Amino acid sequence: MKPLLTLIAAAFVLTAQASKKQTVAHGYPINPVPFTSVKVTPGTFWGQRLEASRKTTIPLAFSKCEETDRYTNFSNAAKHLADPSKVFEIKKGTFPFDDTDPYKTIEGASYILQTYPDKALASYIDSVLNVIGSAQEPDGYLYTARTQNPEHPHDWSGPTRWSGEEQGSHELYNLGHMVESAVAHYQATGSRKFLNIAIRFADLVCKEVGPDPGQACVVPGHQIAEMALARLYLATGDKKYLDEAKFLLDYRGKTKIKQEYSQSHKPVVEQDEAVGHAVRAAYMYAGMADVAALTGDQDYIKAIDAIWDNIVSKKLYITGGIGATSNGEAFGKNYELPNMTAYCETCAAIGNVYVNHRLFLLHGESKYYDVLERTLYNGLLSGVSLEGNGFYYPNPLESAGQHQRQPWFGCACCPSNICRFIPSLPGYVYAVKDRDVYVNLFLSNKSELKVAGKKVCLSQETEYPWNGDIKLRIDENKAGIFTLKIRIPGWVRGKAVPSDLYEYADGKQIGYLVISNGDISPQSPLNSQLQDDGYITITRKWKKGEEVQILFDMVPHIVRANDKVEADRGMLCVEQGPLVYCAEHPDNTKDIFDIRIKKDIRFRTGKTEIAGTPVTTLIAEDQPLTLIPYYAWCHRGSGKMRIWLPEEK
């Protein structure tokens, strides 16, 4: 295989039965508009992030797969399959989930191909798939940590298939990322090459892992297979994958390992608090939301709703990050939200987006997108540098200068995860239910939707999150009458989060208007028609060229945490729009840890460039203090940073 940078340089310049409580559907109650249907406008806020992924993050991730022998593992496994006398020593310092780094990078590259078609990149992916496919055993098993050396597999793998699954083999975790990537590749390219590999492995898991005699009755030691199998069900229509996803959830808490760390301390439908390893938890909660949404199982709906409420009421950082402690990379106790030692793993933020997206698809309420948007613009986006080549594993809310972005990690889950997530963003903008079109995120784009099976084309123009003015245009409508449901974010409606965990302390009312075709007459007071679900709805037979203007005031908001959050007691922080702001050392002459602010502090906006990217700053009018968006911190050298500042009485 040619080195990546040479090859693409030019291109880049239980089997569980359905219970009586279930009615199996063929999709979510609300259908997401897929990433293949939404084109983000280049040069805009998210266009720049996608461009950084295309030019830097994805090539870097592929090159790291080459440098760190990720591909070699597959090649070695293939050599053993061709000649069983050839075995290969499992290298010290490697992980049994290293196979997932190529999977995740292919997933991100597949998404990016939709925005930036690239024959060289597509060809490179195809060459990697040849290597991956060559390592698949005849019955579909694909796990290089065992196949390279079946008699002496990786120390975590267990002596036989599935025997180490609950302790750390990550066989099902590898399957999960393979399926996620293969479905994305199929949707982006139309090729079944990777999908067929993934289906063979998934079919083997359905055959060998389950509750029946002769099967291995195990559940994932690290969850993600549950949500991936649900996705495979949606892609293929084969219900056995949804059944297998439900088995992997149904039997949690009933097998050998029972511990909070992996959320196996009790059956999932009895859980009502977010505990343990935050990434494992978020992936499991996303899988629970999938099963709840796709089957209508009321026990699952009740459980996942209770867990979500626990997170947003007691365990969510103002940045949307989750996971308070490095001890087990885990959730802390209720209201335990330290700042400097906050773990807030990038992967956990990605998982938090997955959970809230699925709960929106189940319930259709804007509060889930309020959490999703907060996480997206803050706790998730902070995990990758603006250039696309520096990464955070944890994302603390305060630093004395001990934190710095890393070019990569030996355990590369966070950079490869951010590699796959950022290019997937177009799939989170819109959703459709019958004749309702949900407008959930605000970013410049052109899209093609299906409404009642008919073509509808929309476009957005906006400088959001720097500016609250959004122009939504109907470019084509073959569907006749349909309803636009426009999300009015919680930060506009005076709700920092959909709970009492954080509140706005300044008493400001954010103004907004929704104007249809320029009509702001008293007979069309759209802003008074806000529904209980958090949306303004406009129903009409839309004509080509008609527009809706959405105007949100962008003013700084002062936030106070619930007094039960000890770490934030007596502290305030600042937001504007969906962005959380922080004080960082390069912008302030005064020691960051000596700064105090009042709840009636006044700011004006400024402009600066960080890592060659323009950002809006907030400059205090009555004291020497400048704030920058949190996601942009630590691009100008390590130093002090703080989100929460002591309140001056």
Question: Which helix H or strand E contains 606, and what residues bound it?
Answer: strand 603-610
Q: Among 187-196, 410-419, 603-612, whose mean pLDDT is lowest?
A: 410-419
Q: pLDDT at residue 3 above 70?
A: no
Residues 478-492: what's their mean pLDDT? 96
0.85 surpassed by pTM = yes
CA dihedral sign, ordered 205, 356, 460, 107? negative
So what's the pLDDT on residue 524?
47
Q: How far apart are CA 615 and CA 606, in angstroms?
A: 8
Label residue 14 by pLDDT band (50, 70, 90).
very low
- Report the alpha-carbon distance of residue 298 to residue 296 in Å, rounded: 6
On the question of pLDDT at 381 being above 50, the answer is yes
pLDDT for the residue numbered 8: 35
Provide the pLDDT for residue 412.
60
Cβ pair 80, 87 in contact under 8 A: yes
- Alpha carbon distance 209, 602 (integer Å): 60
Q: What percent of the chain has pLDDT over 90?
A: 88
- Nearby residues of 272 by Cβ (< 8 Å), 6 or more positions away: 303, 306, 307, 310
- The Cα-based distances of 199 to 104, 196, 220 in angstroms read 17, 5, 18
Q: What is the pLDDT of residue 403?
A: 87
What does the block give as tokens for 383?
């995990």
Q: What is the 3-state secondary structure (H, E, C) of 205-255?
A: HHHHECCCCCCECCCCCCCCHHHHHHHHHHHHCCHHHHHHHHHHHHCCCCC
Write the pLDDT tens digit of every residue in 273-291: 999 999 999 999 999 999 9
pLDDT for position 634: 95
**Please, where are the H alpha helices in 567-636?**
none
> How many Å apart are CA 497 and CA 308, to the nearest integer?
12
Q: At residue 203, does pLDDT exceed 90?
A: yes
Q: What value does the mean pLDDT take over residues 258-265?
A: 97
**pLDDT tens, position by position, 519-539:** 654 444 455 578 999 999 999
**Tens digit of pLDDT for each residue in 321-360?**
999 999 999 999 999 999 999 999 999 999 999 999 999 9
Give the separation between CA 517 and CA 372, rounded to whole angstroms.
30
Q: Is 488 a residue whose pLDDT tops 90?
A: yes
- Mean pLDDT, residues 303-313: 98
Q: How high does pLDDT run on average in the chain?
A: 93
Q: Residue 516 — very low, low, confident or very high, per pLDDT cuts 50/70/90?
A: confident
Point out the least confidently predicted range of 8-22, 438-452, 548-562: 8-22
User: What do you get for the CA distance between the two ends of the chain, in Å?
Assistant: 65
Report the C-alpha gap between 157 and 289 in whole angstroms: 29
Average pLDDT over residues 163-169: 96
Confidence at residue 519, expressed as pLDDT on a 0 to 100 scale: 64
Q: Report pLDDT digits (tens) over 549-598.
A: 999 999 999 999 999 999 999 999 999 999 999 999 999 999 999 999 99
Q: Above 80 in pLDDT, residue 124?
A: yes
pLDDT tier at 414, thresholds 50, 70, 90 = confident
Higher pLDDT, 610 or 415: 610
